[in-house]
């Protein structure tokens, strides 16, 4: 690493205002040294964004900084974890100070918002690629796994489905209108990790996952690991007005069922705990919507308002 890259780290990357008491050594030494609170377990996850695969060339660096951290935080949310520390690997074609400044602006706004401290990372030259590793704490007895759903459990999602997918579709078609579609674009570029929801749900949910690849695909992981199946009632799916309009005009549910990047949570609860969930919903920012039920029969079935089975697509797979 050359001198200018050292000052890039000192002057532009190590800028976060969050300073946690559980960090003994942060950025600047060979390793970070971190202290896990007594009685907690460490939850760790890593996500990578690659130019040309996860985002197109020229996308706003501020939004990339936000999104790189948001997708990692979303994994913590899905486990009911409390975020604490992040490490960041930045591979860039050149040491572009303005780009790094913008990227870190997006990154630190979100990290400060959740009390996350950036404690280390790596900076190298190469095709643009961003990896964030996130560390959080869970109570060992209260971890939301993908494998705990049981027949009879009710299936819920946070927030709304399909906004990010619609924004992407409009963007790719060159039909994105920055004034009309501002909310949709915000959902694609600045997803909100459902940390608060995840932490509150940890004592209630039998299983959970975050929606990165679409509802059918991601709920598919829950039912597969829980060795059961599910039925979704399509008319219950929470969609914003733009997505709803698109669905009713195209008469296909793919936007809500199989478009990715929403970063909402999908979770299951025992039917007898529905009242507790409704009490919880009243104090959360995002709505919690009941969309279906876990069943013994494997696979995911979708039914329309008349109770008739509807054929649907599955989620996105990078290697398909
Ligand atoms: P080393 O050569 O020992 O691996 P580096 O010279 O790569 O260390 O990094 C110096 C310090 O800066 C380390 O503490 C490292 O964690 C931190 N660092 C490097 N790149 C980043 C980055 N992109 N984000 C956060 N911290 C970084
Ligand atoms: Mg070293």
CA of 3 to the centre of ligand 2 (A): 15
Lowest mean pLDDT segment, chosen from 1-15, 140-154, 245-259, 288-302 = 1-15
User: pLDDT band at 5, cuts 50/70/90?
Assistant: low
Mutate to test the pocket of ligand 1, among 49, 85, 95, 122 (most ligand atoms within 8 A of CB): 122
At 95 the pLDDT is 87
Query: How high is the mean pLDDT of the chain?
Result: 93
Tokens at residue 103, please? 């990227």
Q: Which residues surround ligand 2, an ion (CB under 5 A)?
A: 30
Stretch 46-54: mean pLDDT: 93
Give tens-digit pLDDT for 94-131: 989 999 999 999 999 999 999 999 999 999 999 999 99
Tokens 């997918």 correspond to 165
CA of 99 to the centre of ligand 1 (A): 18
CA of 183 to the centre of ligand 2 (A): 43
Give tens-digit pLDDT for 240-281: 999 999 999 988 899 999 998 999 999 999 999 999 999 999
Burial grade of 228 (CB within 10 A; 0-12, 13-18, 19 or more): buried
CA of 45 to the centre of ligand 2 (A): 23
Calculate what percentage of the chain has a pLDDT beyond 70.
Answer: 96
At 320 the pLDDT is 44
At 276 the pLDDT is 96
With 90 as the cut, is the pLDDT of residue 223 above it? yes
Tokens 């940890």 correspond to 202
Which residues form the pocket of ligand 1, taking CB atoms under 6 Å from any ligand atom? 1, 9, 13, 27-30, 88, 90, 118, 120-123
Find the helix packing angle between 241-250 and 163-172, rounded to 10°. 70
Residues 6+ apart with CB under 8 A from 96: none
User: What is the C-alpha separation between 232 and 216, in angstroms, rounded?
Assistant: 9
Which ligand minimizes its atom distance to the CA of 29? 1
Q: Which atom of ligand 1 approaches the CA of 118 most closely?
A: 25
- Report the candidate in 177, 168, 201, 192 with the shortest Cα–Cα distance to residue 269: 201
Tokens at residue 203, please? 């004592």
Residue with CA nearest ligand 1 atom 20: 122
| Cβ atoms of 258 and 214 closer than 8 Å | yes
With 80 as the cut, is the pLDDT of residue 2 above it? no
Residue with CA nearest ligand 1 atom 18: 121
Q: State whether residue 188 is helix, strand or coil.
A: helix
Tokens at residue 308, please? 């008739």
Stretch 170-189: mean pLDDT: 91
At 53 the pLDDT is 87
| Cβ atoms of 41 and 137 closer than 8 Å | yes
| H helix or E strand, kind and range, residue 25 | strand 23-25
With 70 as the cut, is the pLDDT of residue 77 above it? yes
Residue with CA nearest ligand 1 atom 3: 30
Which range of 14-18, 90-94, 205-209 scores highest in mean pLDDT? It is 205-209
With 90 as the cut, is the pLDDT of residue 166 above it? yes
- The whole-angstrom distance between residue 177's C-alpha and the CA centroid of its chain comes to 25
Residues 6+ apart with CB under 8 A from 192: 70, 159, 263, 286
At 7 the pLDDT is 84
Lowest mean pLDDT segment, chosen from 88-92, 171-175, 196-200, 289-293 = 171-175
DSSP state of 153: P
The CA-based diameter of the chain, rounded to the nearest angstrom, is 67
User: pLDDT band at 311, cuts 50/70/90?
Assistant: confident
User: What is the C-alpha separation between 278 and 151, in angstroms, rounded?
Assistant: 21
User: pLDDT band at 313, cuts 50/70/90?
Assistant: low
Mutate to test the pocket of ligand 1, among 16, 89, 91, 121 (most ligand atoms within 8 A of CB): 121
Stretch 19-45: mean pLDDT: 97
**Between 16 and 63, whose confidence is greater?**
63
User: pLDDT band at 314, cuts 50/70/90?
Assistant: low
| Cβ atoms of 93 and 127 closer than 8 Å | yes
């Amino acid at each position: 690493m050359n001198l200018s890259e050292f000052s890039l780290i000192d002057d532009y990357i190590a800028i976060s205002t969050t300073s946690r008491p559980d960090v003994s050594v942060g950025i600047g030494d060979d390793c970070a040294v971190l202290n896990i609170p007594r009685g907690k377990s460490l939850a760790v996850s890593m996500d990578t964004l690659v130019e040309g695969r996860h985002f197109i060339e020229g996308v706003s660096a501020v939004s990339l900084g936000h999104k790189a951290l948001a997708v990692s935080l979303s994994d913590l949310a899905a486990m009911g974890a409390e975020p604490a520390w992040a490490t960041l690997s930045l591979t860039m074609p050149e040491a572009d100070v303005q780009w790094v400044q913008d990227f870190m602006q997006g990154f630190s706004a979100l990290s400060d918002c959740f009390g996350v401290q950036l404690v280390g990372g790596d900076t190298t030259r190469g095709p643009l690629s961003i990896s964030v590793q996130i560390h959080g704490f869970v109570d060992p007895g209260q971890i939301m796994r993908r494998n705990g759903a049981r027949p009879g459990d009710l299936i819920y999602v946070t927030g709304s489905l399909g906004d990010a997918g619609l924004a992407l579709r409009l963007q790719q078609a060159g039909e994105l209108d920055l004034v009309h579609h501002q909310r949709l674009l915000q959902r694609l570029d600045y997803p909100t990790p459902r940390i608060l929801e995840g932490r509150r749900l940890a004592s209630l949910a039998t299983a959970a996952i975050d929606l990165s690849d679409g509802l059918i695909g991601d709920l598919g992981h829950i039912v597969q690991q829980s060795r059961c199946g599910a039925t979704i009632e399509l008319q219950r799916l929470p969609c914003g007005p733009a997505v709803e309009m698109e669905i009713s005009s195209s008469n296909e549910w793919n936007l809500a069922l199989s478009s990715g990047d929403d970063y909402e949570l999908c979770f299951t609860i025992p039917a007898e705990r529905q009242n507790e969930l409704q009490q919880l919903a009243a104090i959360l920012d995002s709505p919690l919507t009941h969309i279906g039920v876990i069943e013994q029969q494997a696979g995911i079935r979708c039914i329309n308002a008349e109770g008739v089975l509807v054929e649907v697509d599955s989620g996105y797979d990078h290697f398909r």
